[in-house]
Amino acid sequence: MTISSIGDLAQSMSMRRHNADLRSDFQRLTKEIATGQHHDLTDAVQGGFRLLAGLEASLTRLSGYEQSSQQAVLLTDGLQAVLEQVNARSSEMAPRLLSSANSGNSKLLSASSQAAEVEFASVVSALNTQISGRTLLAGQDIDTKPLSPAADIMTAAKAAVNGLTTAADISTTLETWFQTGGAFETNHYQGATVPASALVVGEGVLVSEPLTAIDDDIKETLRGFVMAAIVSENSNTLPDSERAALAATSAETLIGANAKLIEQQGRIGTNQALLENRLTEIGTERHAVELAHSSITAIDPYEAATELQNVESSLELLYTMTARLSRLNLSDFLR
């Protein structure tokens, strides 16, 4: 029979409590070293949760601004790329149309006109571009392509000038057709007239984009291409002199619209620079807040590792003592 004294029982209870405390410390320190964070923030902040809550609110706010800024960058870069495509095509087409208009060559006029119709389809496709499922030029209707298919627009425009026999009449009719509230806007623009909502990228800092596919500068570009395409369409009813005049007018229209679209690109470029600066500012501010947050919640890894090593040593010593005590019997006790 094993005989235990009151002192033995007290020692046993004390060792058990010490063992439980050491195990708890070991688990806590292991978790803290793995996460780099204090296990018990109440102790770390010493009851001052208001500062920590403020820092976390700032991080949440900055994260929202960063997401909005990144979305704005995506959309702004996309729109800039669209206008570059449109300008590139009109810049290439205008000199070709002028050259054919001055050549006195009917076949050359027809060839440049047919090329303009192909380019028109490419321009409409560019204006209908979607970025991450969102259209760029449909105003608030971000889920809707702004323009009808190019073939539908071209067919309707040709029908509007059918039977006209002078370049001036065709030009005037198309000007009316493309004007605000005209057939083009009514029947072939599928977006909203209200611009898309501005994105909040900072405290009181908003980025908006008012440009839509029915902006006057874009409509002028479309009108220039449509006029050029009609040159070959009416080859049987228009004298060569009128066809040449129409080709020249379409080239001049494209050149004028191109200059205005370059101004739009400059405005968009200003937004791009603003967003680049904003993302830099957000990154700097977030880094400062994260440092302040870390100074409260993060552990000192060297201190934690040293404490863990001490706990391990204490556990090993406790286990050694327990093992020795557990082997004691009456003869050992009386020896």
In the prediction, which pLDDT does 238 show? 82
- Calculate the dihedral angle through the C-alpha atoms of 229, 219, 170, 103, rounding to the nearest 10 degrees: -50
**What is the residue whose two structure tokens read 């971000």?**
142
Mean pLDDT along residues 41-50: 61
Position 79 scores a pLDDT of 96
CA dist 214 and 208 (Å) reads 17
Kindly report the CA angle at 152 between 149 and 156, in degrees rounded to 5? 145
pLDDT value, residue 237: 73
Q: What is the pTM for the complete model shown?
A: 0.76
Q: What is the pLDDT of residue 163?
A: 86
The C-alpha atoms of residue 335 and residue 331 are separated, in whole angstroms, by 6
pLDDT of residue 308: 60
C-alpha closest to that of 267 among 193, 230, 217, 332? 217
**pLDDT, tens digit (0-9, with 9 covering 90-100), for 216-275:** 999 999 999 999 999 987 555 788 899 999 999 999 999 999 999 999 999 999 999 999
Is 325 among the domain residues?
Answer: no
Domain count, the chain: 1
Longest Cα pair distance anywhere in the chain, in angstroms? 132
Give the CATH number, domain containing residue 158: 1.20.1330.10
Mean local confidence (pLDDT), 167-196: 95
Whether 14 maps to a domain, the answer reads no
Confidence (pLDDT) at 233: 77
Closest CA to 227 of 278, 170, 286, 266: 170
Judge whether 66 lies within some domain. Answer: yes
Please state whether beta strands 134-135 and 199-202 pair in parallel, antiparallel, or not at all (unpaired): unpaired
Query: According to the model, what pLDDT value does residue 139 have?
Result: 94
Q: How confident is the model at residue 73 (pLDDT cuts 50, 70, 90)?
A: very high
Within a domain: residue 300? no
- Measured in degrees and rounded to the nearest 5, phi and psi for residue 37 equal -120, 155
**So what's the pLDDT on residue 110?**
92
Q: How confident is the model over 87-141, as pLDDT tens digits?
A: 999 999 999 999 999 998 989 999 999 999 999 999 999 999 999 889 999 999 9
Q: What is the mean pLDDT of residues 134-149?
A: 95
What residues make up the domain containing 116?
52-290
Checking if the pLDDT of 212 tops 50, the result is yes
Is residue 104 included in any domain, yes or no? yes
Q: Is pLDDT at 161 greater than 90 in this prediction?
A: yes
Q: Which of the pair, 311 or 103, is modelled with greater confidence?
A: 103
Contact status, residue 195 vs residue 208, Cβ threshold 8 Å? yes
334 pLDDT above the threshold of 50:
no
- Whether residue 40 lies inside any domain: the answer is no
**Range with the lowest mean pLDDT among 2-11, 155-164, 198-207?**
2-11
The overall average pLDDT reported for the chain is: 84
Q: Quick check: is 335 in a domain?
A: no
Q: Which range, of 79-83, 116-120, 292-296, averages the lowest pLDDT?
A: 292-296
Q: Output the pLDDT for position 315.
A: 64
**Angstrom distance (rounded) from CA 59 to CA 254:** 49
